[in-house]
Structure 1
Amino acid sequence: MSTTATILAILATALVVLVIANVVFSFVAERKNPPIGSFIECEGVRLHYFERGNPAARCVVLFHGNGTMIQDFILSGLVDHLAGRSRVICFDRPGFGYSQRPRARIWTATSQAALFVKALNQLGVRDPVVLGHSWGALVAAAIGFQNEYPIRGLVLASGYYFPTQRWDFWMLSGPAIPVLGDLVRYTVAPIISWAILPGLIRKLFAPRSVPDNFKHDFPASLTLRPKQLRAAAEESAFLIPEATRFQSRYPSIRCPVHIFHGTQDHIIEPEQAGRLHKALGRSDLHLVRDAGHMVTYADSTAIAQAVESLQSAMAKSDRA
């Protein structure tokens, strides 16, 4: 066998071993971290959701950011804060946690919003407050754009609303490329992601430290599965185009809006929140001092109070 053939054989064997190792890793990660909620099938997509609180109370729906899942909102304390007075529903967005992300569909914020509106109708949810964090803020805004499904209000946290020059988002989108991206996702991407994950988590929470409960209880191994890496890469690729499509539509949002953003967010610049506040013309802007991208942890109490204020205002309007 020639030297070239030997090298190619070694590389092929290494790739096969990596693929098998990542499949086994995904299986083990899911065995250690089984679904914590329930499932609903909508338009052929199986969605995982978590529900807490009084089923008869006013509802708040929570959408997480890119790369994470339901547990993020639970560990932040938001679910506990809200469940005392509300029906709380958190979804794993398509491709994250235990929700499916069929490849036949392009999962823009608008297509996700349309799917969730149908899922909420199936669950009997009417006039909710919708809360979105980071990429989830775009999904929440997309629900706010449409008129067929009325909502009480929006709470948008750490969102990216207007296009800027961000090469980092494009660089993270590689695993979404068909065929080549699939090979990367099942071989080296989980290893690279595992190596950079601790630093990324510190950056998400900076300038504050990473909470102990997040360190110990967040199922980070689920984020390293090849199928979730594809979803995260696609959303990195879609972020700037989605913000470009949405930037002229914000004034069409008619419901009340609360905007939260950390003043020291190292992932998405705080100026995004100010621009949205100006574009809406009527909203409440909350800039949280000494907080980073995970503003849901830094000031979960104030965010919960904003949700409750929207619910109370609508309840008074209904009685009037």
Structure 2
Amino acid sequence: MENSIAILGLAIVAFAALTYVRARKVETRITQLYPAIGTLVPVQKGVIHALQRGTGRDVVLLHGALANLRDFPEDLVSELAKSYRVTLMDRPGCGYTSGLKRIATAKAQATALAQAADALGLRAPIVVGHSYGATVAAAWALCGSSLPVRPAALVLIAGPLMPASVALGGLRVLAKSATLRHLSSYLAAAWTPRRVMRFMIGEAFAPEPVGPEYAKRSGARLALRRSSFRANARQTSILAPLLKQLAAELPRLELPVELIHGSEDRVVPCAAHSVAAAKLIRGARLTVLSGRGHMPHHTEPQAVIEAISRAALALPA
């Protein structure tokens, strides 16, 4: 019996050591495949990774959970850059934004992003957020005059905005405990097979097909790095109370708001979030895309471009 326990203990130690080494090796490989492609902008207690394209009125693009600024498709960014100065940002805990480990709430994220926007010279941007990025965008607009840069308009794509269900997969379980988040981050970095990544991406796009180059081009594997995995789990852990507070504040929004949502979104249900939020936000315009899932910025980018154009027309020249 004692020998069996000793052997089991050695096996656990060996597995832990192998996992640690493998996690570091995998992270190094991921970083080599997907290096930073923008500028590292100093903010209080960290840096925000940002990429700018084009000239004109400022538009900020904020990605969702388990993603990074590469998530926005090149065709969409290139088209917007013809008319706007487009700034893509990695949200705190994601991509190459770093040093902001304790920032989890949407308003705290917005504060750091506003500091970066100020450093980059942005003024009254149209802030476009997808999924969790939409939550942060809405919170940014609700932060008031305390921030150096405030949104002039919002375009919220498939955003969690109400205290309703959101499909979070395994993160819902892992988010409950700091210890679980820490241990699972090593396991995720070291042992997540590609087929699991493909499955998760497929769930996000469902019921629509995933673009053939999405997984490779988007740098989705950056989310498997230990720090990013823990940050996403931490942000997920507070999502429910955050959405309850956000919904209570949505009627205070007094700027142009465009809501875009796929009718068949399985991650953030359209009716429970955007349809319900549209009833609370005065003057909000809701566009429901029939048959679309959670990724309309990929599957119907023209709808996003048109929403941004409408928002721009609603603002002073």
- TM-score norm. by structure 2 comes to 0.92
Distance 1:170 1:220, change over 3 A: closer
Q: 1:186 to 1:70 in 2, by over 3 A?
A: same
**Aligned to 1:304, what secondary structure does the other structure show?**
helix
**What residue is the counterpart of 2:208 in the other structure?**
208
Give the C-alpha shift of residue 176 in structure 1.
7.0
Instruction: For 1:292, give the aligned amino acid.
Output: G
Return structure 1 stretches of 4+ with deviation > 6 angstroms: none
Secondary structure of 2:86's counterpart equals: strand
Q: Distance in 2 between matches of 1:307 and 1:112?
A: 22
Partner of 2:144: 147
Report the number of matched residues: 312
Alignment deviations for residues 71-118 of structure 1 (CA, whole Å, 9 cap, x no partner): 11134x321121000000000111111111533x24100101111111
Please name the residue that 1:92 is paired with.
90
Q: Tell me whether 208-217 or 136-145 shows the greater mean CA deviation.
A: 208-217
C-alpha displacement at 1:183, in angstroms? 2.3
Which of 124, 129, 147 is matched with 1:127 structurally?
A: 124
Output one character per residue of 1:146-195: Cα deviation in whole Å (capped at 9) or x when no partner. 33244321000101111125685685351673344312211356524755
Greater mean deviation of Cα atoms: 175-184 or 42-51: 175-184
1:300 match:
301
Structure 1 position 16 matched with structure 2 position 14? no
Alignment of 1:246-265 (within 5 A): 246-265=246-265
Residue among 78, 96, 104 paired with 1:107: 104
Cα RMSD over matched residues?
Answer: 2.0
State how 1:233-252 maps to structure 2 within 5 Å. Answer: 233-252=233-252
Deviations 1:297-316 (A, max 9, x none): 122112112112222332xx
Aligned residue for 1:278? 279
Residue 61 of structure 1 corresponds to 60
Give the CA deviation at 1:200: 1.5
CA contact (8 A) 2:73 2:298 kept: no
Deviation of 1:235 (Å): 2.1
**2:229 aligns to what SS in structure 1?**
helix
Distance 1:170 1:254, change over 3 A: farther
Q: Kindly tell me: are residues 8 and 20 of structure 1, through their superposed partners in 2, closer, same or farther at Cα, counting changes over 3 Å? A: same
The C-alpha deviation readout for 1:282-305, integer Å capped at 9, x for no partner, is: 111000111100011122112112
Equivalent position amino acid for 1:312 in 2: L
Change (3 A) 1:167 1:286: closer
Q: Give the alignment's TM-score, normalised by structure 1.
A: 0.91
Instruction: State how 1:60-79 maps to structure 2 within 5 Å.
Output: 60-75=59-74, 77-79=75-77
Separation in 2 of the partners of 1:291 and 1:188?
30
Structure 2 counterpart of 1:107, which letter? A
Q: C-alpha deviations, 1:106-157, integer Å up to 9, x for none?
A: 4100101111111111111101100010001111001111332443210001
Q: CA deviation at 1:211?
A: 0.8
Larger deviation: 256-265 or 4-13? 4-13
Alpha-carbon spacing, 1:175–1:245, altered in 2? closer, same or farther (3 Å): closer
Matched residue type, 2:233: A
Q: Give the direction of change, closer, same or farther, for the CA distance of 1:190–1:284 in structure 2 (3 Å limit).
A: farther
- Structure 1 unpaired stretches of 5+: none
Q: Aligned partners of 1:175, 1:226: CA distance in 2, in Å?
A: 14
Cα distance change on mapping 1:15 and 1:268 into 2, 3 Å: same
- 1:41–1:62 Cα change, 3 Å: same
Distance in 2 (alpha carbons) for counterparts of 1:58 and 1:279: 28
In structure 1, what is the Cα distance between the partners aligned to 2:259 and 2:62? 15
In structure 2, what is the equivalent of residue 268 of structure 1?
268
